[in-house]
């Protein structure tokens, strides 16, 4: 049975549930093509998808890939802002403080952040290393 030797084989495939390339067990073949695979991480069976890393040649890596890596792009944005405002003094965050666009502040839980947006009348959007937060402040 040459065909059954490929079913139950381990392959790298894209998991539609985990949203990444992971080891899968081949569940069903059609000819020499894998049609169904089971993810070893979430144990879900789904239609076989070629691993993203291998396939998808140099397409436009613009918005789609950015959205997939929200957390790392926040960090990249944070690093960019911290670098461009490296000479700005760091203000301690208090709810009564006054903040302007581009101000650097230090929050007891979130660490250092940069004011990226003023939201009228009394909120600021702050980019921290791991997250973007809306904070209340003293207002104009």
Q: Which is nearer to Zn ion, 41 or 84 (CB)?
A: 41
Q: Which is nearer to Zn ion, 34 or 39 (CB)?
A: 39
- Here the tokens at position 5 are 């030797």
User: Using CA atoms, how far apart are residues 31 and 139, in angstroms rounded to an integer?
Assistant: 67
Residue of minimal Cβ distance to Zn ion: 39
Those residues whose C-beta lies under 8 Å from the C-beta of residue 115, and which sit 6 or more positions away, are 99, 100, 101, 102, 103, 104, 105, 124, 125, 126
Strands 33-39 and 20-30: antiparallel
Q: Which is nearer to Zn ion, 15 or 81 (CB)?
A: 15
Least gap, CB of 42 to Zn ion (angstroms)? 3
Least gap, CB of 60 to Zn ion (angstroms)? 27
Q: Which residues bind Zn ion (CB under 5 A)?
A: 15, 17-18, 39, 41-42
Least gap, CB of 17 to Zn ion (angstroms)? 4
Q: Give the Cβ contact number of residue 126 at 10 Å.
A: 26
Q: Which is nearer to Zn ion, 6 or 17 (CB)?
A: 17
């Amino acid at each position: 049975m040459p065909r059954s030797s490929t079913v139950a084989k381990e392959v790298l495939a894209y998991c539609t549930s985990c949203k990444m390339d992971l080891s899968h067990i081949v569940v069903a073949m059609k000819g020499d093509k894998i049609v169904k695979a089971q993810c070893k991480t979430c144990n879900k069976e789904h239609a076989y998808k070629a691993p993203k890393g291998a396939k998808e040649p140099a397409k436009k890596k613009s918005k789609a890939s950015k959205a997939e890596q929200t957390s790392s792009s926040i960090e990249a944005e944070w690093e960019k802002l911290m670098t461009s405002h490296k000479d700005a003094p760091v203000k301690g965050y208090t709810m009564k403080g006054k903040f302007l666009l581009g101000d650097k502040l230090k929050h007891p839980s979130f660490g250092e952040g940069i004011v990226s947006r003023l939201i009228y009348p009394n909120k600021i959007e702050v980019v921290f290393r791991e997250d973007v937060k809306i904070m209340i402040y003293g207002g104009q």
